[in-house]
Structure 1
Amino acid sequence: MKNVVMRAGIARLRSTRVQLTVFACSLLAASCTQRAEQLPTLAGTPGNGTVKTTTAATTAPTCCWVAVTNQANSKIEVYDPADASWTTPKWSWMPTTALSYNATSEIPLWEAPTDIKVRNNTVFTGTAQVITATSYRLATIARYTGTGTRGQKLWVMGFNDTTRLHAMEILPDGNCIVASAGAAWPQGWIRIYSSSQPAPNHGVNTQYFFTSAHAVLWDDTHQVLWALGNELRKYGYNTARSGGTITNPKLDLLASYTVLPSAWGHDLSADVNNPDQLLLSTNGGTYVFHISTGAFSDLPGAAQQTMVKGISSQPGQNTLVETVPSNACPLYPANTWCTSVVNFYDATTGAATGSRTVGGAAIYKGKTFDPNYY
């Protein structure tokens, strides 16, 4: 999005172990099997490198729920693709005083939610998984599983009304990256925070100018951070050259892919079924980025859409998840950024395999709710 300016008046994820039926045959037009949602185990596999010094919870890839950012009610909502009707979410969340958010300085900044991720993370006391969420003016980390209340505030940072936050990512060591598109071109930045640290040191940060920054993604396989805006960038984290530490984290620009297949990046996800691939969307289309070669290729068939705000894949499934702006966005029908529909596609052929509708919703982004780093 070339910093599409949304209207200023926009209104404002571990359940108990359940059996998931992978998409109904009517949705995927494929054979259906029963799978259980896997909750994390606390015995992670330590790796090498700067980030993997903290053992994180791990879980085997399984078919996952889908999380949407519903700007009609200012909530994060999580749904099961196996449910034919998306009328009642499996879980929903927004900042509240009951979850320790400040009624004066934090909750009023939560408007127009723009991003949601769930991640395996045991850095914060009593946690096994956390969520990260952004709205235009608020970025936060909250408990998802572990000891304590689900959705409880763990870290939060507020911003002014020109920031236009679009995404964030938490690193396995508890620090996080926030992406701002800015209110006008050529504004934008990504900022890395020492969110792993106790207050008041959890606000230490370093900012990197990045025009129209819209997405950030930690790549555990390659131990790098990917960021998407007017270009695709690869960063090292706390490398010797960057001079960063866990208390004062820094990024190190390793590569810039300045020529996207089409202009203005929107979303970026791991291809969870292929560690050499990223999925990304721009104003002009949806693409695969091949990490080993640095080349882009088009997604096939109907999965090739323009202005896609959310793109992801389902672990162990040959399925892509996309949210495409449409007239099926009752709250803001004149806009080009929202929808009430989540679409599913065959990842090989690009054929449309079905959709789910959240009645009355203004969904900016809908993505696989997968706790694993890839």
Structure 2
Amino acid sequence: MKTLNAKIIFFLCCSILFLACKKENKQQEANKLAAANKQLNANATANAVLASCCWIGTTNQANATMEAYDPVLTSWATPKWSFKPTTALGFNATSEIPLWGYVNDLKVRNNNHWGSGQVITAQAERLSVIAKYPGGQRIWATGFPADAGVHGMEILPDGNCVVAAAGTNSGTGGNYIRIYSSSQAAPNQYVNTIYPLKAAHQVLWDPVNNCLWAIGDSLKKYAYNTAASGGTVSNPKLSLITSYSLSSITPWGHDIAPYDGDTNKLLVTTNGGVYVFDKSAGAFIPNAITGAAQRTFVNSVSTLPGQNTMVQTYKDPGCPINGWCSTHVDFYNLTTGAFLYSRTVSSAGFYRGKSFDPNYL
């Protein structure tokens, strides 16, 4: 009888241990995302000093190069930092580098998934890239067909990423956002799911509300890897929370950005103007942007942290490169919309020029 009791006790102990381990494994993945998101909220990356909160990250389509400049300097003759893919940085000479063309979007983020402290997301024509910052060494890259029209890219706290593809003017290709398992080791780093969004132009991770914002013909808010979606870090999924119409402002969104000093607001640009969105109210604030800062065809918008300054690039008919870029980045008073100053590179074709800030929210 003692032997039987001992066996029963041993079996019960093993069962309890197994169930505890199973529960721990289920929570492990969620804990990883929570820890990574906490890192963003706390701005606790050890290398956070690497990227200046006051630099402006630009996409220069004249030379197909990502460039960062210091707005304090009146001369932008020499960038503080630059990036384009090369074989020396680990990019493939035949399947990746030839896809790099007109540069569209650049972000720097605190993310230690690959041990580098900070990374950039860089999107240029048919190639989207995650690379180490500031060195630019390749982490991940993927190509797109010519009609995808990818305009924006964002990295999530766990190392996965999302791109926004606008398609062509004739309506072909693109018109979606697409999430990738970029955090995973080869060969599992390209698992992806597509979500329709007409004329998708930009995506932005919101670490305060733990959600993803996307702009196209509407403003959309997505949850990431919820129990209902069945998403995991190796097979990531988005769930649409709410879709907000642009009918109260003007159509065709271009960019979204945090609003300095108020995590409940987003800056939004469309073909027709610059606007402020109230997250908790789920509505655009009437006449929030006035003065010279309220103008059409603004390709990018952002703010300089703690400086009450808005940064814009817009469709400048005087740009010698194409019909949608600019030779200058413009700065405005965030409160009044009054023009402050511009920084110009006469040979440039800036599509976007935004606050190059890893502690963006």
TM above 0.5, one fold? yes
The alignment partner of 2:34 has SS state of helix
Report the equivalent of 1:17: none
Report the equivalent of 1:51: 33
The alignment partner of 2:352 has SS state of strand
The alignment partner of 1:203 has SS state of coil
For residues 219 and 96 of structure 2, what CA distance do their matches in structure 1 show? Answer: 31
Q: Does 1:131 pair with 2:113?
A: no
Query: What is the 5 A alignment of 1:169-318?
Result: 169-183=154-168, 184-185=170-171, 187-260=174-247, 261-297=249-285, 298=287, 299-318=289-308
- 1:116 corresponds to which of 84, 91, 106: 106
- Aligned pair count reads 319
Q: Does 1:328 pair with 2:318?
A: yes
For residues 252 and 246 of structure 1, what CA distance do their matches in structure 2 show? Answer: 14
Report the equivalent of 1:144: 133
- 2:354 corresponds to which of 367, 370, 373: 367
CA contact (8 A) 1:87 1:359 kept: no
Q: Which runs of 4+ in 1 moved over 2 A?
A: 48-63, 184-187
For residues 63 and 372 of structure 1, what CA distance do their matches in structure 2 show? Answer: 7
Q: TM-score by structure 1 length?
A: 0.82
Could you tell me how far 1:272 is from its partner in structure 2? 3.0
Could you tell me how far 1:373 is from its partner in structure 2? 4.4
Could you tell me how far 1:329 is from its partner in structure 2? 1.3
The alignment partner of 1:130 has SS state of strand
Could you tell me how far 1:351 is from its partner in structure 2? 0.1
Could you tell me how far 1:370 is from its partner in structure 2? 0.4
The one-character-per-residue Cα deviations of 1:228-265 (angstroms, maximum 9, x if unpaired) are 00000000000111110000000000000023410000
Percent identity between the aligned chains? 53
Structure 1 or 2: more helix by fraction: 2
For residues 49 and 199 of structure 1, what CA distance do their matches in structure 2 show? Answer: 23
The alignment partner of 2:133 has SS state of strand
For residues 357 and 62 of structure 1, what CA distance do their matches in structure 2 show? Answer: 20
Q: Does 1:159 pair with 2:144?
A: yes
Moved more, 174-183 or 51-60: 51-60
Larger Rg: 2
For residues 141 and 77 of structure 1, what CA distance do their matches in structure 2 show? Answer: 16
The alignment partner of 1:202 has SS state of coil
Could you tell me how far 1:354 is from its partner in structure 2? 0.4
Aligned CA distance change for structure 1 residues 317 and 195 (closer, same or farther; 3 Å)? same
Could you tell me how far 1:294 is from its partner in structure 2? 1.1
Report the equivalent of 2:62: 72
Could you tell me how far 1:62 is from its partner in structure 2? 7.3
Could you tell me how far 1:324 is from its partner in structure 2? 1.2
> Which stretches in structure 2 are left out of the alignment for 5+ residues?
1-29
The alignment partner of 2:113 has SS state of coil
